Amino acid sequence: MINASLDRCLSFINSQTAPAAQSAPAIGMRRAVTISRQAGCGAVFVAEKLANYLQEHAPKPGVKWTIFDRQLMAKVLEDHRMPGCLAKFLPEDRTSAVQNLLADIFNVLPSENKMLKQITETVFHLAELGNVIIVGRGANIVTARLPRVLHVRLVAQLEDRIERVCQEYNKTPEEARRYCLEEDPARTRYMKSYFKTDINDPLHYHMVINTSRFDYENTARMIGEAVLRLA
């Protein structure tokens, strides 16, 4: 599944950066979406439904909407010619693990600023291409000044998030609770450390949606309608 998703991501990038695509007239207005989320809010599921909604309402023929989540890290590694096996060591708030591994393999210790620069360059470039949904990575801050990019924050009640993590990722209730309680502070630290930003500040987003109140389908529809209204 991950390899198939990565293939779609790379196919999208290649189609957008090919000379023919660059010289062809633009088909409609290119937009992008960033999704920040609490753990267990169903961001990936919402993103999938959102991509389908936007594709259904896109001009025909049009470029398919592409989701960049975990696959984004593989793209970062590809862009900067780093070993692909390092992708799993690049989740949010885990830069130190990458640094230690690189030091062991190459006897080189990349600075945190360099790692951040590589990630943000990729995020910014993808948003510029348009027709992408980028989950996490501080993408809303990286692309804050780009036009036609909608920034969304997903939140939900802790107990609902624990239940979803159990169902969607086959975890026990204890594992799911621990996952949520560890992952949220990690993302908060990531944003605070590298972007000097509070991830929970609603002023960084166009929309904050409680997925305890709205199911994934309705959440995606609300976001999709907002995206299509971007001028």
Q: What is the CATH number of the domain that holds 128?
A: 3.40.50.300
93: amino acid identity, one letter? D
List of residues 6+ apart from 110 with CB closer than 8 A: 98, 99, 102
Q: CA-CA distance, 228 to 32, in Å (whole number)?
A: 10
Contact 9, 122 (CB under 8 A): no
Q: Could you report the per-residue pLDDT of 112-142, keeping only the tens digit for each?
A: 566 677 778 888 988 988 889 999 888 999 9
Flag whether 57 is in a domain.
yes
Flag whether 6 is in a domain.
no
Flag whether 66 is in a domain.
yes
Cis peptide before 61 (omega within 30 of 0): yes
- The answer on pLDDT for 81 being more than 70 is no
Residue 54: domain span: 30-80+118-228
Flag whether 200 is in a domain.
yes
Average pLDDT over residues 32-39: 94
pTM value is 0.75
Nearest to 229, CA basis, from 25, 31, 61, 49 = 31
- Domain count for the chain, please give it: 1
Average pLDDT over residues 90-116: 54
- The answer on pLDDT for 14 being more than 90 is no
Q: Could you report the per-residue pLDDT of 139-198, keeping only the tens digit for each?
A: 999 999 999 999 999 999 999 999 999 998 889 999 999 999 999 998 898 888 888 899
